[in-house]
Amino acid sequence: MSPETKQNISTARTSDTYVDQGLRKHMLNVYNYMTSGLALTGLIAWMTAQSQTMINLIYGTPLQWIVMLAPLGFVFFLSARIHKMSFQSAQITFWLFAALMGLSLASIFLVFTGVSIARVFFITAGTFAAMSIYGYTTKKDLTNFGAFLFMGLIGIIVASIVNIFIGSTALHFAISVIGVLVFVGLTAYDTQHIKRMYVESDETAIAGKKAIIGSLKLYLDFINLFIMLLHLFGNRR
């Protein structure tokens, strides 16, 4: 092997090492944003549930619908506008979204026992971790699988809206079971997609915004998986 060939191989290996280190740092940023957002959501949800004043202010009033729908608006806004936003604005929007989700999820502490919430949370965390690791490490292309999961997600949304009016227990159970399968799959798909979004040459602000939008996807996967599992295994008060 010629010295020139050895030098090229060494250069390629060094380049791969830099990419791997950069990718690991990027994914760590994604998970840090996601876990921080979940912590903020959980804290605000718990604090809201402990305040009878806040409960009376939100639930059973028109403000309840604003609190429920506002996080959805933030998701659409952040997804559509993040490319035009500054990194700092994207951060603020993400934290506001996580805080509003805390307000909207406070009701779970009123409906389910604290022990069952904790149990389901740890089940969700373990399931999420396993599927995210799979999505990060697998060599299989999950793109086509993602399209199938997206159709399942649309079906869940439509069925959930219909069930608001008919109140079917059987349909509610079916939505929860299918929802678990869909969000388990989306966790792996989104993790792989976030990994592929990484570009070594990205500027710091662009890389930061990619981390935020990636953390938003995984945050939503975790929250929805948690809610579906809570409907299946949570103990009501």
Q: Give 88-104 pLDDT, tens digit per residue.
A: 999 999 999 999 999 99
Which of 54-63, 164-173, 177-186 is predicted most confidently? 177-186
Residue 140, pLDDT score? 92
Instruction: Report the chain's mean pLDDT, rounded to a whole number.
Output: 88
Residue 47 pLDDT > 50: yes
DSSP state of 112: B
Tell me, what amino acid is at 168? S
C-alpha distances in Å from residue 179, one per residue of 50, 182, 185, 224? 29, 5, 10, 8
Q: Stretch 108-117: mean pLDDT, rounded?
A: 93
Helix (H) and strand (E) counts in the chain = 9, 0
Residue 6, pLDDT score? 46
Residue 4, pLDDT score? 53
Tell me, what amino acid is at 45? A
Say if residues 46 and 224 touch (Cβ distance below 8 Å). Answer: no
Residue 237, pLDDT score? 83
The conformational region for residue 167 under phi > 0 = left, psi -120 to 50 = alpha, else beta, is: left
For 58-121, give the DSSP string. HTTSTHHHHHHHHHHHHHHHHHHHTTTS-HHHHHHHHHHHHHHHHHHTTTHHHHB-HHHHHHHH
DSSP state of 236: B
Residue 201, pLDDT score? 67
Percent of the chain residues past pLDDT 90, beyond the cut: 60
Hey, how many other C-beta atoms are within 10 angstroms of the C-beta on 104? Answer: 21
What are the residues facing 236 on neighbouring strands? 112
Tell me, what amino acid is at 148? F
Measured distance CA(129)–CA(138) in Å, rounded: 14
SS3 percent helix, strand, coil of the chain, rounded to 5, is: 85, 0, 15
Vertex 222: Cα angle to 109 and 118 (nearest 5): 35
In the block, which residue shows the tokens 């604005």? 89
Measured distance CA(77)–CA(66) in Å, rounded: 16
Residue 30 pLDDT > 90: yes
Residue 159 pLDDT > 60: yes
**Each residue's pLDDT tens digit, 175-192:** 999 999 999 999 999 999
Residue 11, pLDDT score? 44
Residue 202 pLDDT > 80: no
Q: Stretch 40-58: mean pLDDT, rounded?
A: 92
Q: Stretch 233-237: mean pLDDT, rounded?
A: 89
Residue 178, pLDDT score? 94
Q: Stretch 203-228: mean pLDDT, rounded?
A: 93
Residue 19, pLDDT score? 53
